[in-house]
Amino acid sequence: MSAGDGDGWAFCDLGHEHWGVYGAAGLLVYHHDADGRTHVLLQHRSRWSHNGGTWGVLGGARDSHESSEATALREATEEAGLRLIQSREARPMGRRGGEGPADGVDVVGTIRDDHGGWAYDTVIAAADRLLPAHAANRESRDVTWVPVEQVPDRKLHPGFAQTWPLARTALGRLVVVVDVANVMGARANGWWKDRAGAAARLRDDISAALPSGLTGGALPGELGLPALYHWYPEVVLVVEGQARDIGGAADLRVVAAPGSGDDTIVAEAAAARATPGDRVVVVTADRELRERVAGVGATGVGPRWLLGLLDGTA
């Protein structure tokens, strides 16, 4: 297990030859500008490379010890001069080679192109600005931000051309807002004896499950989400009453309602929906609350879905 051990050719079950012994991955990073226009960062491949002269995502072979997300971030660093980490990681932004601080991106989902025995993962990530990028090695002729409506005008890499129609629909975060008091009440575990303790246990269970990724099949069909291989949701827990002081947890945000929990949930849903492309799911069985969040563009689902994920029965 070493850096670069994924370099090499491999055959899929269809008999096609692909670069990457352990598969490959690329990063499709997007940004919504102040005018609501969406841009994606694309690479113009060098003529000598496979499918040279085409446009696609920054990417390459996955090493044996890497996740697809780690591969995609590494390749963007190597090919475009970016220094990327996931914004949600609870570690300080490091420095490389004495240069500036790393740029945070939020990984929101992954599209898998599975050839049988070999796969290419397109990792979709959100950036909070048009990150400065350039052709940093000989694999690129150019690296530039392209408005999404202009992407089809480019000569696209065949694999990216196949992936783009689905990717275009998935340039946004999935935000899951949890009505903790309501979901907690759906668990028959004696929560009424210790509301704060029950809320903390629910927080920890969710922290261990949701931010690590949800397969497309684990999401309710009524949400109408693009059929990604994985979604990586941003999770917001709204707590109230005796549970207000439970504190946060890794990879999710806990919001203590200053007054009405319902009002805070509606406000959180509305704030998330203000970002173009973002989808918001509110987990609650409260019908009135579900009607209120629908009014700000969010979708309500019952606690059974979430509890099924946590209990392994979904």
Mean pLDDT by 10 residues, the chain (314 residues): 77 82 91 93 85 88 89 89 61 30 79 90 93 86 95 95 96 95 82 85 90 82 88 94 86 91 96 92 96 96 92 64
Tell me how far apart the alpha carbons of residues 164 and 160 are, in angstroms, rounded to a whole number: 6
The answer to whether the beta carbons of residues 282 and 301 sit under 8 Å apart is yes
Cα angle, residue 157 at apex, residues 155 and 162 outer, rounded to 5°: 105
pLDDT at position 209 is 86
Query: Is residue 212 domain-shared with residue 307, that is, in the same domain?
Result: yes
Residue 115's nearest CA partner among 16, 201, 40 is 16
Residue 3 located in a structural domain: no
Supply the CATH number for residue 87's domain.
3.90.79.10
> How is 167-207 classified by DSSP, letter by letter?
HHTT-S-EEEEEEHHHHHHTS-S-GGG-HHHHHHHHHHHHH
Q: Which residues pair with 154 in a beta bridge?
A: none
Supply the CATH number for residue 269's domain.
3.40.50
Tell me the three state secondary structure of residue 284: coil
Residue 160 located in a structural domain: yes
Query: Is residue 151 domain-shared with residue 179, that is, in the same domain?
Result: no
Q: Which of 168, 184, 199 is the last residue of a domain?
A: 168
pLDDT at position 95 is 25
Residue 46's nearest CA partner among 136, 147, 151, 160 is 136
Query: Is residue 139 domain-shared with residue 180, that is, in the same domain?
Result: no
Domain span at residue 218 reads 174-311
Tally Cβ neighbours within 10 Å of residue 143. Answer: 20
> What residues contact residue 251 under an 8 Å CB cut-off, 6+ apart?
88, 90, 207, 211, 212, 235
> With left for phi above 0 and alpha for psi between -120 and 50, is residue 53 left, alpha or beta?
left
Tally Cβ neighbours within 10 Å of residue 289. Answer: 20
Query: Is residue 192 domain-shared with residue 297, that is, in the same domain?
Result: yes
Query: Is residue 18 domain-shared with residue 163, that is, in the same domain?
Result: yes
303-311 vs 195-209: helix crossing angle, rounded to 10? 70
How many structural domains comprise the chain?
2
Query: Is residue 182 domain-shared with residue 154, that is, in the same domain?
Result: no
Residue 91 located in a structural domain: yes
Residue 2 located in a structural domain: no
Q: Residue type at 305? A: W
Query: Is residue 80 domain-shared with residue 128, that is, in the same domain?
Result: yes
Query: Is residue 91 domain-shared with residue 125, that is, in the same domain?
Result: yes
257: Cα separation from own chain's centroid: 26
Q: What is the pTM of this model?
A: 0.86
Query: Is residue 153 domain-shared with residue 195, that is, in the same domain?
Result: no
Query: Is residue 189 domain-shared with residue 133, that is, in the same domain?
Result: no
Query: Is residue 50 domain-shared with residue 88, that is, in the same domain?
Result: yes
Residue 1 located in a structural domain: no
Instruction: State the sign of the Cα–Cα–Cα–Cα dihedral 243, 249, 255, 256.
Output: positive
What tokens were used for 125?
């990530």
Q: Which of 133, 168, 203 is the last residue of a domain?
A: 168
Tell me how far apart the alpha carbons of residues 76 and 261 are, in angstroms, rounded to a whole number: 41
Residue 49 located in a structural domain: yes
Query: Is residue 192 domain-shared with residue 267, that is, in the same domain?
Result: yes
Q: Which of 168, 201, 226 is the last residue of a domain?
A: 168
Residue 4 located in a structural domain: no
Tally Cβ neighbours within 10 Å of residue 41. Answer: 23
